[in-house]
Structure 1
Amino acid sequence: MDLKMELNSLKDAFDRVAKKQKLSCSKTQEVVDQIVQEIKKAIEMVQSTTLDYKSVLAELKKKLHEIAPLSQLEGTQKELNIALSKYPKALEKALNPDISKAYRNIEFDSHIVNQIIASYLYRQGLFDVGDCFINEVGDAEVAAATRSLFQEMYQILEAIKSRNLEPALKWAATNSDKLKDNGSDLLLRLHQLQFVKILQKGRRDEAIKYARTNFASFAGNHMPEIQRLMGCLLYSDRLNDSPYAHLLSPTNWDVVAEELTRQFCSLLGQSYESPLSVTIAAGVQGLPPLLKFMTVMAGKKQEWQSMKQLPVPVELDKEFQFHSIFVCPVSKEQSTDENPPMMMPCGHVLCKQSINKMSKNGSKTFKCPYCPSNIDATQCRQLNF
């Protein structure tokens, strides 16, 4: 049963509980209404007649006994209790809370782990928390290597949130050559935002002066964008109602902030996504199949702890695939340093162990599994991804 089927099963169990609860609630309300109605009738009779109130209460008692609220509610409440008792079991079966079963005693470089955690905190602008973490782990090298990297970026991004582009423009101008090498037009985008910001305030002459000063160097490759910006000058007093109103969208600021973050991290040799976030996201995705595998491996913890390679594939989405991999089409095993991919003279690729097995360790030629070519194992070349 895959994850989707498990989630559908959970939803069905939840729907059953919700349906039983609704029926029980409806029945309870119906019985309560009957009781309230009889009590109101009794009160009216006591207030409007000369009947002895004892006889009225006796009649009320008789009516309530006929209504038999406990008997009426017993059936629906019992069905609800049964559904409620089954639902937690379904939850526990599908969403196993004991994730420690997938734990393996793997040695980690504590310095690298500390650096990843500190880097995440500093990326978020949580410098005080990051400093506290560094003090707790006693890894001063991490503080020196990571805090300064992200403090400037955070200050620039905070300024952008306040619609202050000066720090971003200064950084982009200083690193303009590197940004060009990366194929980024961040500096032009920042100038565009500043130009529109000036024009939005009604300072048309100042906007023209700004354009002449800052857009000339971009004319060769970005003339259409610059021409559109010049068109804004015709609507300087009503830019909100002009064909260029989209330039005022807050989304433009978000896009620039994202691009600045990406380029800033790139120039620092850091990944755009936090390594800690990526690791946790990938781990959450890979955890269910590992837990299922451990259910099969029950009683073989020692074997699990000593495995160098998992016997089952753990599929991750494309965003978590950073390196090319090769799976041998014959053995169905992923290549390793000891069992690398080998290209045969015909151009097809198998893992080294498969070639050795088919050629009897190079003692004879063999036929390629995918074409009629006869293969000499000594002519196979190792591939490096």
Structure 2
Amino acid sequence: MDLIKDAFERVTKKQKLSSSKTQEVLDLIDQEIKQTVQKIQSCNEYESQVDFKSTIAELKNKLKDIAPLGQTESTQKELNQALSKYPKLLEKSFHPDIAKAYRNVEFDAQTVNEIIGSHFYRQGLFELGDCFLSEAGEPESAAAMKSQFQEMFQIVEAMKCQNLEPALKWAITNSDKLKPNGSDLLLKLHSLQYVAILQKGDRDEALHYARTYLAPFASDHMAEIQKLMVCLLYPGKLDTSPYFHLLSKANWDKVIGELTRQFCNILGQSYESPLSTTIAAGVQGLPPLLKFMNVMAGKRNEWQNMEQLPVPVELDREFQFHSVFVCPVSKEQATDENPPMLMSCGHVLCKQSITKMSKNGTKTFKCPYCPSDIDSAQCKQLHF
């Protein structure tokens, strides 16, 4: 991706340079033509036709000296060269036909449709989500998802307008669910409201609000509460105080993000759209699979029947949701039938590898990673 980005930036730079040079030449030509027109218009009717012709001839000589084609030719040539290389790099980096990596895998069409519809609702595209689910024949699943995300968007939109009432109402209603998640969302919302009241200059109201809504959090958040209490010294002028950062829009954005995360969590939904996550993971996983299929083009049927991926596919940590174990001996991923086993030396192999190496448990064997003698009967199953 860095190569593509660099190539794109080169093309952009050449394009800007070419455009700038062309505009410069056009401005010179425009200036000379305007001066000639002005000179002709200033001539009176008694001047001879010879003077008129000489003026036009002079203009031609000036335009010839400017040499517009010569000045723009070099920059245009450099731009054309950059443009000719860029598609080749794109073609080399991106595969237009990704169907080579396709496998005939059974999946639940209803679940996929719900994921796509849910993605539209997450983005606030409610009409599009309704249309898609209706066309897909899934109208019943639309109503529940839509109402849930509509409520979330109403709260978020209100917060963007500095209106915390809907957010506080929702957080108070779901406080018993927020506590097990370790979330201090309610405190953050009350803190924002307290700061907003204090910035308006009403110290007494802010103090009353703090005693009513912030005091219950003092036992677990004393340092934060103390900082907020010191702000009482600056009613109406927090923006010029040492605590001006409390008025930052970034604080609101963080709380909006926390509310969205907790809202999705309570709904049993992931914070990130499953569709976006799937596509992003697929983009990372496609190159090695396409490379494999290009090399093994004649084994299409084998690819369709494989239970596991034929090549290792490395994904970033954000796509690693479950711990997996691949046996260092058999190179196979652990399953319920072939679980990982902890040996007495501390190393781990899959059960089938231990069974083979111990001759079905009839003898001890050497650990492949250290000189320890291993008794298969002492191996214990690991649970991730």
- So what's the TM-score if we normalise by structure 2? 0.80
- Matching residue of 1:218: 217
Q: Which residue of 2 aligns with 1:185?
A: 184
1:239-259 CA-partner distances (Å, limit 9, x unpaired):
210111111111111111111
Which digits, 9 at most, give the CA deviation of each residue in 1:233-290, with x for residues without a partner? Answer: 2111322101111111111111111111111122222211111111111111112222
Count of aligned residue pairs for this structure pair: 374
1:163, 1:320 → 2: CA distance? 34
Q: Percentage identity across aligned positions?
A: 73
In the alignment, structure 1 residue 358 sits paired with structure 2 residue 368: no
Match of 1:232 in 2: 231
Partner of 1:300: 299
Aligned CA distance change for structure 1 residues 204 and 331 (closer, same or farther; 3 Å): same
2:40 counterpart residue number: none
- Which residue pairs with 1:258 in the alignment? 257
Task: Give me the whole-angstrom Cα distance separating, in 1, the residues matched to 2:241 and 2:318.
Answer: 40
Residue 285 of structure 2 aligns to a residue in which SS?
A: helix
Inter-partner Cα distance in structure 1 for 2:88 and 2:336: 45
Matches within 5 A, 1:1-385: 7=1, 85-385=84-384
Distance 1:148 1:72, change over 3 A: closer
Cα distance, 1:84 vs structure 2: 5.3
Aligned to 1:342, what secondary structure does the other structure show?
strand
- Return the offset for 1:202: 1.8
2-structure distance, mates of 1:310, 1:295: 15
With over 3 angstroms needed to count, the CA separation of the structure-2 counterparts of 1:370 and 1:275, relative to structure 1, is: same
**Distance in 2 separating the partners of 1:244 and 1:26:** 47
Residue 77 of structure 1: CA displacement? 8.4
Q: Distance between the aligned counterparts of 1:350 and 1:81, measured in 2? A: 58
CA offset digits 1:158-200 (Å, max 9, x no partner): 1111111111111111222322222111111111111111111
Letter in 2 for 1:254: D
Going from structure 1 to structure 2, the CA distance change for 1:366 and 1:239 (only over 3 Å counts) comes to same
Q: CA deviation at 1:90?
A: 3.3
Structure 1 residue 27: Cα displacement: 11
Q: How much has 1:345 moved relative to structure 2? A: 3.2
Letter in 1 for 2:356: K
In 2, distance between residues paired with 1:209 and 1:267? 31
Q: Relative to structure 1, is the Cα distance of residues 372 and 250 closer, same or farther in structure 2, using a 3 angstrom cutoff?
A: same
Q: Cα gap change, 1:313/1:194 in structure 2, threshold over 3 Å: closer, same or farther?
A: same
Moved more, 224-233 or 145-154: 145-154
Once residues 232 and 25 of structure 1 are traced to their aligned partners in structure 2, the CA distance between those partners, rounded to angstroms, is: 55
How much does 1:28 deviate?
9.9
C-alpha spacing 1:210/1:360, structure 2 compared with 1 (3 Å): same
Structure 1 residues 209, 16: CA separation in 2 closer, same or farther (over 3 Å shift)? closer
Contact persistence 2:345–2:372 (CA under 8 A): yes
| Contact kept? 1:190, 1:256, Cα under 8 Å | yes
Distance 2:70 2:241 in 1: 72
Amino acid at match of 1:315: E
CA distance in 1, matches of 2:238, 2:264: 35
3-state SS in 1 of match to 2:193: helix
Contact 1:17 1:80 in 2 (8 A): yes
- Shift in Å at residue 378 of structure 1? 3.8
The amino acid across from 2:222 in the alignment is: M
**Contact 1:204–1:236 under 8 Å retained in 2:** yes
- Tell me the secondary structure at the aligned position of residue 350 of structure 1: strand
- Name the residue aligned to 1:41: none
Distance in 2 separating the partners of 1:382 and 1:363:
19
Answer whether contact 1:365 1:375 (CA < 8 A) is retained: yes
Change in CA separation of 1:302 and 1:245 when aligned onto 2, cut-off 3 Å: same
Report the AA paired with residue 171 of structure 2. Answer: A
**C-alpha distance in structure 2 between counterparts of 1:321 and 1:73, whole Å:** 53
Q: 1-side partners of 2:271 and 2:282: how far apart?
A: 19
Runs of 4+ in 1 over 6 A off after TM superposition: 11-32, 68-83
Amino acid at match of 1:307: M
Structure-2 separation of matches of 1:231 and 1:286: 53
Q: CA deviation at 1:113?
A: 0.7
The Cα shift of 1:214 comes to: 1.3
Q: Which residue of 2 aligns with 1:46?
A: none
Equivalent residues of 1:114, 1:142 under 8 A apart? no
Partner secondary structure for residue 338 of structure 2: coil
1:39 is aligned to none
Shift of residue 105, structure 1, vs aligned partner: 1.6
In 2: Cα distance, 1:318 partner to 1:324 partner: 11
Greater Cα offset, 75-84 or 117-126: 75-84
C-alpha RMSD of matched pairs (Å): 4.1
Contact 2:202–2:236 (8 Å) recurs in 1: no
C-alpha contact (below 8 Å) 1:235/1:242 kept by paired residues = yes
TM-score when scaled to structure 1?
A: 0.80
Runs of 5+ consecutive residues of structure 1 not aligned to the other structure? 1-6, 37-48
Does structure 1 conserve the Cα–Cα contact (< 8 Å) formed by 2:124 and 2:153?
Answer: yes
Report the Cα offset of residue 360 of structure 1.
Answer: 2.9
Give distance in 2, aligned partners of 1:28 and 1:151: 52
Change (3 A) 1:341 1:27: same
What SS does structure 1 have at the residue aligned with 2:230? Answer: helix
Is the 8 Å Cα contact of residues 118 and 142 (structure 1) preserved in structure 2?
no
Tell me if structure 2 keeps the 8 A contact 1:343–1:380: yes
Preserved contact between residue 114 and residue 133 of structure 2 (Cα < 8 Å): no
Deviation at 1:369, TM superposition (A): 1.7
